[in-house]
Chains A and B, each alone.
Chain A
Amino acid sequence: MTNHTNTPSPLPGGPLARRTILSGALGLAGAAGLAACGSGSSGVPGQAPQTAGGAGGATGYNGPKVTLQFWNGFTGGDGPFMKKLVDQFNTEHPNIAVSMNTMQWADYYTKLPAAVTSGKGPEIGIMHVDSVPTNAARKVIQPLDDVASALKLSEADFAPVPWKAGIYNGQRYSIPLDVHPLGFFYNKSVMEKAGLDPEKPPTNADEYGAALDAMKSKGLQGHWASPFPFTGGLTVQSLIYQFGGALFSDDGSQVLWADEPGVKAMTWFQDLVKNGHSAPKIAQDADLVALENGKTAFNWNGIWTINTLGAKPGLKWGVAALPNIGGTKAAWAGSHQFVLPTLRTPDENKSTAARVFLNWISTKSIEWAKGGQVPARNSVRESPEFKALKDQAALATQIDDLHFVPPVAGIGDAMPEFDKALNLAINGGQDPAKVLGDAAGRATKILEANKKKYGG
C-alpha cells in the first residue's frame, strides 16, 4: 500500500493492494459486539488453544542466538523508518538477529501464502487490518492470544478500534502497530487567495460549503473529486460513516452502502464536480498534485501525505481532522498489524524471540510515527514526543472515530464493486442511488459466495 500512497504515483497498486487498503466500517455498536464476542469465546469448549509455541517474551530472551525473518511491504517512505528500528533492535539484542525483507504489498500478499505452504515463511509479518481475517481463515497466520497474554498486552495498552480489529472468530490474530487515518489537507496559499483564514479550516458542512463557494467566486476549484479508490473511495467511505451509515452490516452478511447515508455521501461528493468545485474526469492522484500545484485547496488524503507535502519546499499547507459533513465524526483508516505466519516446524526459541521483537517495536513506535503514522500503543500516542509531531497528533485526535470493515474473511473481495460505483458516479456522472444499488447487488452475491467458501 505504501508504495503508492506515500508517493503520488499513478500506480493503482493492483487490485489486491487496493482491496487490502480499502477498509471501512465498524460502527461503534459493532465494536462493542465484537468485544463481547472476543472475550466470550476465548474459552470455547472443544477448541484447543492453538499456541505459537513457548511462553514468555515479556522479560526478554536469553536463549541461543536465533535469526528471525521479518517480511513487510514498507517500500515507500516508511521503509527506512522501520529499517532503522530493526537495526536498533539488533544492536540492543545480541542474541536475536532480525532480517527484514521488504516487497510490494501486492507481491507480499501473494508470496506469503506460498511461502507458508512450502515451509519457508517468515517468523514475523505485517498485515493491513482488513487482510487479517482472510489470512486467518486461509491459515496463513496463526492465532496469538497467548502472545498477547505472555506479553501482558491488553486493550488498556492500545487504542480500542485497532486493538479489537485484530480478533477474528473469537481469536486474536494480530497486534496493532499503527493506524493511518484519512485527514483533511489544505493549501494555505489558495485559501488566502479566496480571502479565507488559512489557520481556520472549515470543520462542518456549512463552513465547508461557504469556503468552496468563496473559492468558486474567485475562479478556484476548491476540492478536486477523484473517481478512484485513492482518494475518492476513502473520502466517500468516510462520508458514509459521517452520515450515520456503514459499508457492511457488522456480521459482514449485508451490503449497506446503497442505503440512504451511502447515497447522501456519494451525492455530496458528486456535487463537487457538478457544482464546479472540481475538474471533471481527473486521473489517479491528480487531486493531490492539484493541491501541490495550487490548483485546488482541499484534499482528503491519508496521513502518509504529511511526508509527501513536507518534502515540497515553499508549499504552505496544513492538516486537520476531517470536517464533519454528515453529522457524526468519522474517518476511514487503515492499520498495520503484526502477525505471526504459520510455521511448519514451530521453534520455541524463535517464538519467544519474535515476541520480544514485536513488543519492543510496539513500544518504540514513536520512530515509526515520524514516517507518517499514528501509533496504536497508548503509551506512545500519549507521550510528549508524539504530541510534538503536530501534524500526526492533529490526525490522532480522530482515533476513536475511525472505521474498519467488519472482520470477515474475504470481505475485501466486495470492495472493487464499490469502486466501480464510485467511478460511474464521479467520472460518469451517473445517478448515485442506481450505481450504488447495482454495486451492492453484485457485492452481496460475492459475500454469499465467500460465506460458503470460508464456512461462514
Chain B
Amino acid sequence: MSTTSGQPAPVTGRAAAAADGAVELVEEVDEPRGPGRTSGIHGSRLTPYLFLAPFLTLFTVFVLVPGLLGIWISLHNWDFLLPNKPFVGAQNYLDLFDSSSVQFESFWNSMRATGFFVLISVPFLVVLPLLLAMLLHRHFPGRTFFRAIFFAPFVLGVAVIGLMWSYLLDPSFGLVNGMLGAIGLPDDTAWTTSQPYAWISLAAVTIWWTMGFNAVIYLAGLGDIPADHYEAAELDGASSWQQLRYITIPGLRPVLVFIVITTVLASANMFGQSYLITQGGPGETTRTAIMVITDLGLTQYRMGEASAMSYVLAVFLSLVALVNFWALREKK
C-alpha cells in the first residue's frame, strides 16, 4: 500500500521504497551523470513519462476527460439523445440554491442524509477496525482464520449484502426480529421502515460489511511499527494505554489519514445499502445524494442538473478531505 511507503521509520522506509529506489541506485553507480546525458535506458528523458504513461492514459480517459466533460454538461440542459442541448450557463447551479426550484428540496435533503450517514458511520469505521486489527495483530492460534473471517463480508457485492440484510431485517418476517423475539425482546421493531432504526440498520450493515477492509490496512500499518519501540517503552514502564497513545497511534498516523479520508468518501458515496434495504425511506430520510443524482441523470435524463449536483457534492467532499489532512497533519 502506498501508505506503508510513507512510513517515517528508517528501516521500513528503505524496504518499502526498494522498488522506487531501484532506478536511483543504478543511477548512483552510473557516474558521472551529466545533465545532457541521454544514452542507455535509464538516462532517457522519456523514461519517467514512459513509466507514467499507462496510469496517465487511464487517468486521462476515465477521470480527466469525464471530469471536464461533466463541467461542460453541467452548463447545459443535457440529454445525450436529444439534438437540442441548450446552454444555460450557471442556471443548474443557481437552481440548487433556489428554494423554489424542483430539485432544491430533494437535493439538500439528500445532502443532509449523506452528511448524517458519514457522521454516524465513520467514527465506528475508524475505531472498531483499529481495535480489531490490534486484536488480530497478536499471536494466537487460528489468527489467519479469524483475519479471513473478518475480511470475508467485504468480498461480497453490495447487491448480495443488501438483499441478504433486507430479508434479515424485514420488520414482519425477518430473522433478526425472530431471534429477538425468541429471547424475549421486542420482536416488532421496524428495522428498515422507521427512524431511527433505518439509520441504525444502514450504519450497522455498512460497518459489518466494510470493517474488514479498514482492519487489513491497519494490520499492514501495525506490522510496520518496529517491535523494539514497544520493548523500549515497556522497559521504561509504559502502560499499554501509553503504548497505544504514544507509539501505536503516532506510528499509524499516515495510515489513519488514509483510512479517515477513504472512509469519509466511501460513506459519502453510500448508495446500494439504502437503495436496497430501505428504498430511501421511510419517507425520503435515507435517500442519499448519489441516489438523487443517479435518478436524475440516468432515469430522468437530466444530465446537466445531475452533473451540477455532482460537482457541488465533490466540492463538499474536497473541503472535508482538506479538513482531514489539516486535522491529522504531523504536528512538529
Contacts and interface: CB of A to CB of B under 8 A. Distances in A.
Contacts of A110: 298
Contacts of B170: 10, 283, 286
A110 B170 CA distance: 30
A117 B81 contact: yes
25 contacts: A10-B163, A12-B276, A14-B299, A16-B299, A110-B298, A113-B80, A117-B81, A138-B81, A139-B81, A227-B193, A280-B190, A282-B171, A283-B171, A284-B166, A284-B279, A286-B171, A286-B173, A290-B172, A423-B283, A427-B281, A442-B102, A442-B105, A446-B300, A449-B302, A453-B302
Contacts of A9: 163
Contacts of B82: 138, 453-454
A43 interface: no
Interface of A: 9-12, 14-16, 19, 109-110, 113, 117, 138-140, 227-228, 279-284, 286, 289-290, 293, 295, 410, 413, 416, 420, 423-424, 427-428, 442, 445-446, 449, 453-455
A446 B300 CA distance: 10
B166 A138 contact: no
Contacts of A283: 166, 170-172, 192-193
A413 B300 contact: yes
A281 B192 CA distance: 9
Contact of B284 (A140, A284, A420): A420
What 9 A-B pairs come out closest when comparing CB atoms? A16-B299, A281-B190, A281-B193, A138-B81, A445-B102, A10-B166, A413-B300, A286-B172, A15-B295
Interface residues of B, number: 34
Contacts of A445: 101-102
B213 interface: no
A439 to B, nearest CB: 11
B282 A11 contact: no
B292 to A, nearest CB: 10
Contacts of B193: 227, 281-283, 427
A344 to B, nearest CB: 14
Nearest to A106: B299
Contacts of A113: 80-81
Interface in B279-302: 279, 281-284, 294-295, 298-302
Interface string B185-225: 00000101110000000000000000000000000000000
Contacts of A453: 77, 79, 82, 302
Interface string B160-185: 00010011001111000000000000
Contacts of A140: 81
Interface in B257-308: 275-276, 279, 281-284, 294-295, 298-302
Contacts of A11: 163, 276
A106 to B, nearest CB: 8
Interface in B45-83: 77, 79-82
Question: Which residue among B77, B81, B194 has the maximum number of chain A CB atoms within 10 Å of its CB?
Answer: B81
A416 B77 contact: no
